[in-house]
Amino acid sequence: MAKRGRKSIADERRAQILDAFHVCAVRRGLENASLREVAEEAGLPVSNLHHFFKNRDEMVSELVTQIIGGIIADLGSELREESDPDRRFTKSIDFLFSPKSQKLEDGSLYYDFWSLAHRSTTVRSTFREQVRRQRLVIVDTLTKTPELAGLSRADMHEIANILIALVEGTFYILDMDGENVFPARMARLIRRFLELYAEEKMRGKKKKDIAP
């Protein structure tokens, strides 16, 4: 019992520090969020940060997991109660282009993560793992969509990569010029784009099948 209690307190402290780090990173930028500022935000001495995290890169990696992993978990929750494949496909696209998916205040952190990933193997490994997890969830949804039936696994991965890129691009523009960007409309256009993309892929496969 004592061990579980100590572990629970440790988890709570790590979460407390991570939440404070998140607040400071959004407020001042990832690079400018000092450990002293994080400690003050968390209401803890700086020494506690070193006790619960090996270094700053570990804190960043956990923040990457918290933010992107949270999006993946929320998408899973959105789809869990939906059994109809067409509706699952529609709901997944709608979710990815909704405020539930990406909060604008976290938008700049993605670019900070990406920048730091080029200098830290720890952050890069975590960031890559979370992006791959996100892609696998999307691929799983695509493979159960009737309109996309017949496409290869490689095709599904390609579509998922395109979808992730379009989502990121949409929120980048939304952050810069929100008055002229409409995520719900973008979601409808993306659904149609993916359907046309799949149709074109299928036509290409049929031509290969009937070629002499």
For 59-93, give the DSSP string: HHHHHHHHHHHHHHHHHHHHHHT---HHHHHHHHH
Say yes or no: 126 and 188 in one domain: yes
Q: Give me the mean pLDDT over the 121-134 stretch.
A: 92
* pTM value surpassing 0.85: no
The whole-angstrom separation of Cα 109 and Cα 103 is: 10
The rounded percent of the chain whose pLDDT value lies above 70 is: 91
The rounded percent of the chain whose pLDDT value lies above 90 is: 29
Say yes or no: 187 and 164 in one domain: yes
Say yes or no: 47 and 103 in one domain: no
> In this structure, what token pair is assigned to residue 147?
């309109």
Structural domain of residue 92, as residue ranges?
Answer: 56-210
pLDDT of residue 120: 93
Say yes or no: 120 and 191 in one domain: yes
List C-alpha distances in Å: 135 to 73, 80, 140: 13, 17, 9
Taking 90 as the threshold, does the pLDDT of residue 58 lie above it?
A: yes
CB-based contact 68:107 (threshold 8 Å): no
pLDDT of residue 68: 87
- Tell me how many degrees the CA angle 19-138-145 measures, rounded to the nearest 5: 145
Say yes or no: 81 and 8 in one domain: no
- Banded model confidence at residue 208, pLDDT cuts 50, 70, 90: low
- Tell me how many degrees the CA angle 168-171-174 measures, rounded to the nearest 5: 150
Say yes or no: 94 and 161 in one domain: yes
pLDDT of residue 207: 65
Q: Give me the mean pLDDT over the 142-162 stretch.
A: 82
pLDDT of residue 1: 42
Say yes or no: 8 and 68 in one domain: no
Taking 50 as the threshold, does the pLDDT of residue 2 lie above it?
A: no
Q: What is the number of structural domains in the chain?
A: 2
CATH of the domain at 41: 1.10.10
DSSP 43: T
Residue with token string 């793992």:
129
